Amino acid sequence: MPRIERTDGPRRAFWQIDLEGPLVTVRHGPLGADGAVATHRFDDATEARRAYERLLAELGADAADRAPRAADAARRGASAERLTVQLTGRGTSVELSAQGDRVTERRWSTAGDEVEISARAFDDATHALDELGARTTVLVRDGFEETERRRERVGPPGAAPAPDGREASEPEHERACLAAAPDDAGPWQVYADWLQGRGDPRGTLAALFLSGQGAAGTSFLERWREALLGPAAQLVPLEAGALVFRHGFLTQARLWRRRGSATDLSALTRAFLAQPFTRFVTALRFGLASDEADNDWGPTLAALVESPRAAQLSALAFDDFGPDEADLASTPFGDLSRLWAGLPALEHLSLRSGAGGVLGRVEHPRLKSFVRVSTGLSASELRSIGAARWPALERLELWTGSTALGAEVTAEALRPLVEGQALPRLTHLGLVACEEARELVPMLLGSPLLPRLRTLDLSRGLVADAEAGLLLRHADRLRHLERLDLSENLLSPAGRDALARALPNARLDGQRTDEGRIVASLDES
């Protein structure tokens, strides 16, 4: 079994590669550790051997072979080396980096707040390295301690992600990453090293995250925003949670436009998903497409459906805005009818909008979760949802809203959902902020769907003591639930206490007084 070790770059790692018939087994990890094992099955032994030999060639090329390739890359100006020194002292961290003829200095407090960043250009790379050495010496004399020194092979500042201007891509590696078990980092590490060897900054970024250097990875991402994100660089926030990485590669992102901006959200989405950086993105969350009441996510959806990532997107949320950005009741969502056929891998969908739009014919074989938050659900929307075909759906949550804000919901319109005949796998039903409590509660208690549910959410609605009495008389039908959410309804203290004794699985906090039987506000949802 060939063993390849790498001791240069930000990680010291090894690979052991074995070929047996149609199977290629790779053991990979840091030097001194057992490493993770991944086995890949191919259609036949010939295809497996090709993959085996290609992997050996990429990882185990001897020095004589690497030298001319490195020289060619240098002549093309495709890659460069960055020397980075990190120091800590006096409650402050300093990072000095020399790349080409430029030296960059970043300072931040140990609490994580950046103090300042500066950069200087010198006559050439030699002078830049001399300056970095001199600056390091001064800081050490001032009481700082050098905590890390590393060399990274990266592209020149402002370069495209791949050295030759094209996407560095190896479909075999990508398929191995996608097929790996969730906790198996081995294939991702192999791909990161393959990319690094071609001067692609995605490889260096992944290597930093994979080796536990999160702060350095974030810093690297900041420096390579334009190369990695393209035209979307200045419009994708880097705050906590906006970009989510798995095994060093981007898998989830939040896209939004600043309030008052003329940014076209659909154009941003199209540009973002065209980048190699987004190759493994499966989940996206969107802010508003417009500040005004004519918000329309339809063009953004078109960008998704027409993107190279359409076939892999599994989670989508159109809900990332608050009351300071728009009035929920007057915010429509537009025409989303292309969604059902255009995103075949979609499993989770969240839609938050008060003024409605067009859902079209709702039919999706893989969707597992649908959350629709509205201040006033329209009759046409409810008809589309009631006639939906989603055999895999496990979670359905509808915030139906108030008639005063346009809701056109009746108990009869809800009956197809409550009976659950078209929802064979449903385990969570939420009918939130619903005015139809008087007819809905008895309908639920007699529903064939109820025994299959694990959770039932009737929060923020108009459940009062009359409905509580009915729930108490049929408490045996509700005790199998893991949670019965009756919070923020209209129960009296006596009604609430009686339910609490009979149904320990009930959530009963936040009861409101009877204010003309109005559902709870959704402004802070």
**What does each of the 525 residues of the chain score in pLDDT, given as a tens digit?**
567 766 554 456 677 888 877 777 877 777 777 766 667 666 677 777 767 766 666 565 333 333 233 323 323 333 357 788 989 988 888 888 887 777 877 777 665 444 555 667 677 777 888 888 889 988 998 899 998 888 766 543 333 333 333 345 678 888 888 888 888 888 898 888 888 777 788 888 998 888 888 888 888 888 787 778 877 776 676 665 688 999 999 999 998 887 777 788 998 899 899 988 999 999 999 999 988 788 999 999 999 999 999 999 999 999 999 888 888 999 999 999 999 999 999 999 999 999 889 999 999 999 999 999 999 999 999 999 999 999 999 999 999 999 989 999 999 999 999 999 999 999 999 999 999 999 999 999 999 999 999 999 999 999 999 999 999 999 999 999 999 999 999 999 999 999 999 999 999 999 998 665 667 666 544
C-alpha–C-alpha distance, residues 24 and 234, integer Å: 42
Structure tokens at 482: 């893991």
Task: Check residue 186 and give its pLDDT.
Answer: 86
State the virtual CA torsion across 54, 55, 60, 64 in degrees, nearest 10.
30
3-state class of 160 per DSSP?
Answer: coil
pTM: 0.70
Residue for token digits 């339910």?
499
Task: Check residue 235 and give its pLDDT.
Answer: 66
Angle between helices 411-419 and 437-445 (to 10 degrees): 20
Name residue 88's amino acid.
Answer: T
C-alpha–C-alpha distance, residues 525 and 523, integer Å: 6
Which segments within 287-435 are labelled E, that is strand? 315-318, 332-335, 348-352, 356-358, 369-373, 395-399, 428-432
Q: For strand 348-352 and strand 36-41, is the pairing parallel, antiparallel, or unpaired?
A: unpaired
> Residue 151: which of 224, 112, 208, 189 has the closest Cα?
208
SS3 of 313-329 = CCEEEECCCCCCCCCHH
C-alpha–C-alpha distance, residues 437 and 518, integer Å: 11
Using only C-alpha atoms, the chain has a radius of gyration, in whole angstroms, of: 28
Task: Check residue 219 and give its pLDDT.
Answer: 82
Task: Check residue 524 and give its pLDDT.
Answer: 46
Task: Check residue 74 and give its pLDDT.
Answer: 29
